[in-house]
Amino acid sequence: MFQYVVRRLVYGLITLLALSIITFTLLQNTGGDPLDRIKSNPRITQQAVQEMAVFYGLDQPITKQYLTWAGNFVQFWNYPTAWGRSFQGPQQVQALVINRLGGTARLMFTALGLAVLIGIPLGIYQAIKQYSFFDQATTTFSFVTFSTPIFVLGLGLQIILALKLEQWTGVKFFYTSGMNSTSYADFSLGEKIGDTLQHLALPAASIALISIAGYSRYQRASMLEVLHSDYLRTAKAKGLSQRTVIVKHALRNALIPVITLISLDIAGVLGGAVITESIFAWPGMGRLYIQAIGQNDWPIVMAVVMLIGVMVVVMNLFADLAYGWLDPRVRYD
């Protein structure tokens, strides 16, 4: 297994190298200049613009710019200066990204936790009760939810569960923007927890609903395939209880396709839910990423893309190792 892990890590490093080169080249050829906003200011002289270009290394050939960026990026332990400075101000990119990572992780792991805790058991129960009214109703709900664009779902939750619910009851249950209230620092511990949950509920629910639909469908299909296998018939013939047959014998093999889906979703946590963070004004990496693209802020774009790439490589390796634990037939020789 050790040789397998080392080999996969080497392949991962090659993948990340190719990703960095392709992304850097595309950013250099998308048109526009990171200093366009500064150049458009009539108060800024040409000499000042040239000095800023030299300061950021924009006067260097593209190859040297890439090598300088790559050399700084791999020295991630030199916090917060390792990844350079943003083109739009004095902020250090590493500090800016790490600060936004906390907000994204809070949102995405909450949504992912809800999706796993609800979607997988739901898919199992649908498979056990195949073609029942419950199965057909939840299948219809899953198709509708999965087909609904995230911005429609998010706006719908805002209108119904925030605005309309407050009008009907006179009580504010949920907030539609931000991560905390302005007076959050003055709250007691209980009030802080409540305020956080009120801000977190709607954006997390909008992401979780779509993930629940996907997880339940994958889990249902996988479980149905396993339930009709020969070794499950043998386990039933031995007189084992249904609970033992489902949990001990069927579930482990049925989880394999879902593990792949979950691992990719965890990898996407670093990128954040771009649309959701924009709708709910959530201060996360997804919103930062969109802003950086609009401003041609290459250091921030590169940092976010590479972090997502690293997470994809790590989580794919984790998924492959999980296959061996779930299915003893998998070998890494």
74-122 pLDDT, tens per residue?
888 888 778 888 877 778 888 888 888 888 888 988 999 999 999 999 9
**What is the pLDDT at residue 252?**
77
| CA 155 to chain CA mean position, Å | 20
C-alpha 89/C-alpha 74 separation (Å) is: 23
pLDDT of residue 191: 85
Q: Is the pLDDT of residue 133 over 80?
A: yes
Burial of 211 (0-12, 13-18, 19+ CB in 10 A): buried
pLDDT in tens, 304-323: 899 888 888 888 888 888 77
Residue 56's pLDDT band, with cuts at 50, 70 and 90, is confident
For 97, the enclosing helix (H) or strand (E) is: helix 93-128
Least confident span in 29-38, 158-167, 204-213, 286-295: 29-38
Confidence of residue 228 (pLDDT cuts 50, 70, 90): confident
**Which structure tokens are listed for 105?**
């992780």
Domain 97-280 has CATH 1.10.3720.10: yes
Q: How far is Cα 4 from Cα 25, in angstroms, rounded to an integer?
A: 32
pLDDT of residue 331 exceeding 70, the answer is no
Residue 244 has what pLDDT? 81
The answer to whether the beta carbons of residues 295 and 88 sit under 8 Å apart is yes
Q: What's the pLDDT at 85? A: 81
Task: Give the pair of three-digit tokens for residue 151.
Answer: 């911005």
Q: Is the pLDDT of residue 293 over 70?
A: yes
Q: What is the pLDDT of residue 203?
A: 92
Looking at residue 328, its pLDDT comes to: 65
Per-residue pLDDT at 166 exceeds 80: yes
**Among candidate residues 319, 315, 293, 313, the one with its CA nearest the CA of residue 304:** 293
Cβ(307)–Cβ(100) below 8 Å:
no
**Interval 256-278 mean pLDDT:** 78
Closest CA to 103 of 209, 212, 200: 200
Query: How much of the chain exceeds pLDDT 90, in percent?
Result: 15
* Average pLDDT value for the chain: 84
